[in-house]
């Protein structure tokens, strides 16, 4: 049975304010950006922030996490700055609309509009990489699917950190890692999904890319911790890519929890960030200046 069907248990977090407060506390782990210029900007109708690396001109379209109910470009500055430093890209972080005020598919539409905005600025799709963490990781894949189905040229690649890509909460790791994962809880995800989806089927492929066909998608890299409840979401994305013949690398880090990359002092975090940076550089062509 999917956890979507069971509902929160006794002692669970059951109100949206508590869920948002828990996300806000987790975002504090990311720290402040260093040596990266952050400036406001917009892509088409979607506002957000640019991280200017000063390195090679590549474009990372990064979607922040927060269960589709929390988070912002500001909350993720520290994490995005780490990826910018590792990859030498400039990154745009969209301020996509959040639930419950703006439920599914508002976030997907905003993400696709941001991608179209990059194209309208004359940036070639092979110079763009879609990425994100947690809900933003799932959203990066949803936007890649939407771009493919809209007939747009695909980006250079798609990358995700601890992605939430199965809003039915059907992965076994939701249960087996529940006691080990102190960063995120299934009750938190359950309530976030309920506010985001409203009456939408949680297996809708734009909400849960883990159930989609990845035919003709760009190459994929996904990183997750072995001890997090979203570990199986990462594995499912890898399975979908492999089934479609898409080049894919799924890396599960032993002993690590949810978004362990936030602690850049850990050896595993350094390895993960370096690997992600290498993937971004190898999958995107340098933009013409």
Burial 168-200 (b: 16+ CB within 10 A, else e): bbbbebbeebeebbebbbbbbbbbbbbbbbeeb
Structural domain span for residue 168:
3-283
pLDDT tens for each residue of 225-254: 999 999 999 999 999 999 999 999 999 999
Helices 186-197 and 16-27: crossing angle in degrees, nearest 10, is: 120
184 found inside a domain: yes
Averaged pLDDT score across all residues of the chain? 91
| Mean pLDDT confidence for 159-185 | 96
166 found inside a domain: yes
pLDDT tens for each residue of 50-87: 998 765 567 999 999 999 999 999 999 999 999 998 99
26 found inside a domain: yes
* Cα angle 223-204-152, degrees, rounded to a multiple of 5: 75
Predicted local confidence at residue 52, as pLDDT: 84
DSSP one-letter string for 30-67: G----S-EEEEEEETTEEEEEEE-SSS--EEEEE--ST
The tokens for 23 are: 């996300």
| Mean pLDDT confidence for 188-215 | 97
Report the distance separating Cα 148 and Cα 48, nearest Å.
Answer: 23
Q: How far is CA 222 from the centre of its chain?
A: 10
Predicted local confidence at residue 35, as pLDDT: 64
Structural domain count, the chain: 1
Confidence of residue 11 (pLDDT cuts 50, 70, 90): very low
Predicted local confidence at residue 57, as pLDDT: 60
| CATH number of the domain within which 103 lies | 3.40.50.1820
10 found inside a domain: yes
121 found inside a domain: yes
288 found inside a domain: no
Starting at the earlier edge strand, list the strands of the sheet with 59-63: 37-43, 46-52, 90-94, 59-63, 128-133, 157-161, 220-225, 248-253
Give CA torsion, residues 274, 113, 44, 115, to 10 deg: 30
Report the distance separating Cα 48 and Cα 46, nearest Å.
Answer: 7
Report the distance separating Cα 269 and Cα 251, nearest Å.
Answer: 12
Predicted local confidence at residue 10, as pLDDT: 35
105 found inside a domain: yes
136 found inside a domain: yes
In terms of phi and psi (left: phi > 0; alpha: psi -120 to 50; beta: otherwise), the region of 4 is: alpha
């Amino acid at each position: 049975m999917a956890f979507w069907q069971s509902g929160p248990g006794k002692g669970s977090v059951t109100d949206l304010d508590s869920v948002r407060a828990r996300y806000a506390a987790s975002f504090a782990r990311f720290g402040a950006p260093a040596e990266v210029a952050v400036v406001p900007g917009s892509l088409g109708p979607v506002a957000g922030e640019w991280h200017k690396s000063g390195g090679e001109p590549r474009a990372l379209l990064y979607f922040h996490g927060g269960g589709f109910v929390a988070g912002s470009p500001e909350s993720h500055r520290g994490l995005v700055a780490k990826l910018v430093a590792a990859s030498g890209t400039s990154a745009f972080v969209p301020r996509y609309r959040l639930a419950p005020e703006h439920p599914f598919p508002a976030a997907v539409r905003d993400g696709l509009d941001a991608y179209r905005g990059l194209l309208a600025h004359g940036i070639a799709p092979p110079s763009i990489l879609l990425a994100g963490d947690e809900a933003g990781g799932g959203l990066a894949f949803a936007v890649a699917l939407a771009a493919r189905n809209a007939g747009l040229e695909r980006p250079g690649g798609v990358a995700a950190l601890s992605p939430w890509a199965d809003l039915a909460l059907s992965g076994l790791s939701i249960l087996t890692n529940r006691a080990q994962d102190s960063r995120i809880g299934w009750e938190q995800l359950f309530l976030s999904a309920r506010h985001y989806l409203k009456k939408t089927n949680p297996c809708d492929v734009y909400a849960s890319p883990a159930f989609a066909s990845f035919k003709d998608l760009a190459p994929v890299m996904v990183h997750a911790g072995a001890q997090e409840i979203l570990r199986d979401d990462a594995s499912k994305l890898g399975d979908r890519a492999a089934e479609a013949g898409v080049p894919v690398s799924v890396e599960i880090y032993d002993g690590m929890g949810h978004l362990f990359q936030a602690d850049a002092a850990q050896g595993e975090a350094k390895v993960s960030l370096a690997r992600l940076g290498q993937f971004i550089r190898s999958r995107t062509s340098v933009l013409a200046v």
